[in-house]
Amino acid sequence: MNDLHTLPKAELHLHIEGTLEPELAFELAAKNGVVLPHESVEELRRQYDFEDLSSFLALYYATMAVLRDASDFERLTRAYLERAAAQGLRHVDVFFDPQAHTVRGVALGTVIDGIRAALDAARAELGLTSTLLLCFLRDRPAAEAGQLFDSLGEQLPRIDGIGLDSAEVGHPPALFEEVYARARAAGLHVVAHAGEEAGPEYVREALDVLRVERVDHGIQCLQDPELVDRLVAEQVPLTVCPLSNVRLRVVDTLADHPVLDMLERGLLVTVNSDDPAYFGGYVGDVFQGLRDALGLTDEQAAALARNSVDASFAGTERRREIH
Ligand code: HPA
Ligand code: ZN
């Protein structure tokens, strides 16, 4: 059997703030004089029993308050990249949530400086390439996303694309049509979370209105056979996150997860960790979980790994090099 941790692969759905392990959270809290409402690392970990996406997001936003200066973002990102490289990742498209930091007084430049420093170092030291994708929070006003985009200025060339995340239901993709059009015109990559908790109509809107290159999650497409046919025909990459879906109760157990059926059906599926510090594992652990729970074969593992590289924003040359 293949060693799943050495299979060359890419990760396409990873929120850098979701890699904040409790140990680092407490260390940064002490450094920055931030008081976390938990007694200990163990007590914080005990909170990781989520009801749904919203209950996770509340803890996710509260805990990232320990990230204050560029060195904090750099440490966070370095720690993730080291784990990622150790599990066979050769490229990663990294999401970050600027509004979650600017609303608490941390400047956008500070966030990007820290993350970028770690991404650049990983390229040189670990042979791990990356892109950086700025996510708009869909449960905040679309006008705020537009203002954020306008304010990018000298930061614009330091990001490679945009995404859309946070609480999904009631915040459909079409609300963000204008800022997506501007991002596309600026030559950025465009992706969006759709069909995680909300239905297939959100996936259609992401494709038709936002004109995304990939759909993040997308698993609710299975409710709509015509949409599945379209996703197969157009080979739209779906960045599926099996451990996340179980922890956020989108799917009951890993053994019930449809990801391998989706692969066999001809969908361009990739598997990803989403928020690995909170959901029980990094991308190598996701592959291992699928082997343990669903009997992932070597051929399926190789197909998922190949899809992840093909659907990444690594660029033609680098994709060829990884294969
Ligand atoms: N879904 C939506 N928004 C998010 C997630 C997620 O799984 N993780 C971080 N922000
Ligand atoms: Zn996500």
Which of 48, 137, 274 has the most ligand 1 atoms within 8 A of CB, as the residue to mutate? 274
Looking from the CA of residue 165, the nearest atom of ligand 1 is 3
pLDDT at 5: 87
User: How much distance in Å is there from the Cα of 74 to the middle of ligand 2?
Assistant: 20
Instruction: Give the pLDDT confidence score for residue 307 in this predicted structure.
Output: 98
Mapped onto helix, strand or coil, the DSSP state of residue 204 is helix
pTM of the full structure:
0.98
| Positions of E strands within 67-194 | 89-96, 129-137, 161-165, 189-194
CA distance 66 to 300: 39
Phi, psi of 169 (to 5 degrees): -65, 130
How many angstroms does the Cα of residue 156 sit away from the middle of ligand 1? Answer: 23
The SS3 of residue 315 is coil
How confident is the model at residue 3, as a pLDDT?
A: 85
Ligand with the closest atom to the CA of 169 = 1
Ligand 1 atom 2 nearest Cα: 166
User: What dotted CATH number matches 9-312?
Assistant: 3.20.20.140
Calpha distance 15→101 (Å, rounded): 14
Which atom of ligand 1 lies closest to the CA of 241?
A: 7
User: At CA 133, angle to CA 317 and CA 195, rounded to 5?
Assistant: 105
| DSSP string of 133-149, one letter each residue | EEEEETTS-HHHHHHHH
Residue 158 · residue 151 · CB < 8 Å = no
In the reported structure, the alpha carbon of residue 155 is separated from the centroid of ligand 1 by a whole-number distance in angstroms of 23
H or E element in which residue 123 lies? helix 108-126
Q: What is the pLDDT along the chain (323 residues), one digit of tens a residue?
A: 678 988 999 999 999 999 999 999 999 999 999 999 999 999 999 999 999 999 999 999 999 999 999 999 999 999 999 999 999 999 999 999 999 999 999 999 999 999 999 999 999 999 999 999 999 999 999 999 999 999 999 999 999 999 999 999 999 999 999 999 999 999 999 999 999 999 999 999 999 999 999 999 999 999 999 999 999 999 999 999 999 999 999 999 999 999 999 999 999 999 999 999 999 999 999 999 999 999 999 999 999 999 999 999 999 999 999 99
Write phi, then psi, for 171 (nearest 5 degrees).
-130, 70
The answer to whether the annotation marks 13 as part of a ligand binding site is yes
Q: Which residues are catalytic?
A: 196
d(Cα 237, Cα 307) in Å, to the nearest integer?
8
